[in-house]
Chains A and B, each alone.
Chain A
């Protein structure tokens, strides 16, 4: 194939060259166990602690507030389950979250519900935004934790995290945010934004897969994720994934450099908006999520009369890798819970497409996406009996 544009960076990103270079020594000569006292062990431990400093610098916290985990989902699971375990003895068994969280949060909240917790799932606006006033109104004396995602993984809308953080801090409620999609895209300052816990995942910003982190504000005592040895200050036992942690540290340092974030935003925003504007020229097409309060590279569109999986397959045949909120790509019959939360009907939600652009996408590649989408949509609509009905209803 002559051309292949990877436009699914919200799913994962390639490990960058400097990240790989930073990792390689720890897969080769520096193979020591960080818990060992001899030189090789000390070198591995020093590397992990350096990664902790890099991560803390990126988030505006202390290194001692960073705990490395196996992935973003692990950090999410830990934050919710541990907060409830820590506060249940004080009678606090109520959680507040939103209807459009990632499944790592939603399914964890549902499990806690089955175990006796009460959970409030806040609605989102048709633009995909959480209203901080809804958070304030949902807080009860028995509320243990508020968990609101920083940026939505499917539609890319950025939530008013600082406002929600201020409300939670004032009311003395712990505030967790799943920032897996946000890190490297927006400037995060956990202290200024009053965030108590934050989950992140390295492979979303050119780090390796299989490593994430939880930021846990000092003073918040929660139960261990894994009991055993003293790794991660006793909170997550098990020999550390040294090379991956080193990769996470280097990747977050590069991704969260304010100049890198600004560069990415300035490069991607106009390209993103150009692709959106071109797509919206097609009839019966909508942009999902607020047009402005969104990640610089994330686009979510619905094309009526077209089913999302066939759209992805045909884009793939034309050299574009993308994603969909279609039921057919998830193995379930219901389309994306995120799109349904925005108020889309099932048939419209089935025809959705997510493009998440890489920071090095060229103008010419954006043009190719702009040219290809109408062709592919037209081809699928021409064979769609649903499209035929839509057109007839209009006449």
Chain B
């Protein structure tokens, strides 16, 4: 199994690691049994994501996909962040091994879970906007 240079770079120097104490939204996906948990913290001003931090328990790909996903949504409009797809995450990392595709799905879901939390805190039902956040296909446990 070969990781691209980009994956190794984001794994060894992950961007935006940590927590935001007064975060406007927090999303967590995955579970310990499967070996991946991603937690994403957002700071939102108006319709703009002004800051992002993450914490991830998982393999090298899980850490790299979390890291690049934070870079891809930081400073962006919520509407743009909602469009972040796992395919875009894979492309930005110059590819992922087939067994690691689920890590990119998890990264997309972590962003969506955090934005859902944001809407819920505003008293808005997030489902029509964000959609259902299903279980990662790979996780049946």
B residues whose Cβ falls under 8 Å from a Cβ of A: 1, 3, 8, 11-12, 14, 17-18, 28, 32-39, 54-63, 99, 138-139, 141
Contact = CB atoms under 8 A, between A and B. Distances in A.
A269 interface: no
A384 B59 CA distance: 11
Given A313-B11, A317-B12, A333-B141, A386 B60 contact: no
Given A333-B138, A333-B141, A385 B57 contact: yes
A347 B35 CA distance: 6
B37 A386 contact: yes
Contacts of A309: 59-60
B55 A347 contact: no
B17 to A, nearest CB: 5
B141 A310 contact: no
Interface string A375-395: 000000011111110000000
A193 B117 CA distance: 64
Task: Determine which residue in B11, B28, B56, B58 has the highest number of CB atoms from chain A within 10 A of its CB, and name it.
Answer: B58
B57 A386 contact: yes
A387 B19 CA distance: 13
Contacts of B36: 307
Contacts of A326: 35, 59
A382 to B, nearest CB: 8
B10 to A, nearest CB: 11
B37 A314 contact: no
Interface residues of A, number: 25
Contacts of A328: 35, 58-61, 99
A317 to B, nearest CB: 6
Contacts of A347: 32-33, 35
Contacts of B54: 383
Contacts of B37: 384-386
Interface of A: 305-310, 313-314, 317, 326-328, 331, 333, 335, 346-347, 350, 382-388
B12 A314 contact: yes
A382 B14 CA distance: 12
B42 to A, nearest CB: 15
Given A309-B60, A383-B55, A385-B56, 9 more contacts: A306-B57, A310-B62, A313-B60, A317-B12, A328-B60, A346-B141, A383-B17, A385-B55, A385-B57
List of 3 A-B pairs having minimum Cβ-Cβ separation, nearest first: A347-B32, A328-B59, A309-B59
A387 B139 CA distance: 21
B57 A305 contact: yes
A346 B57 CA distance: 13
Contacts of A307: 35-36, 57-59, 62
A383 B138 contact: no
Contacts of B8: 313
Contacts of B58: 307, 310, 328
A333 B34 contact: yes
A346 B33 contact: yes
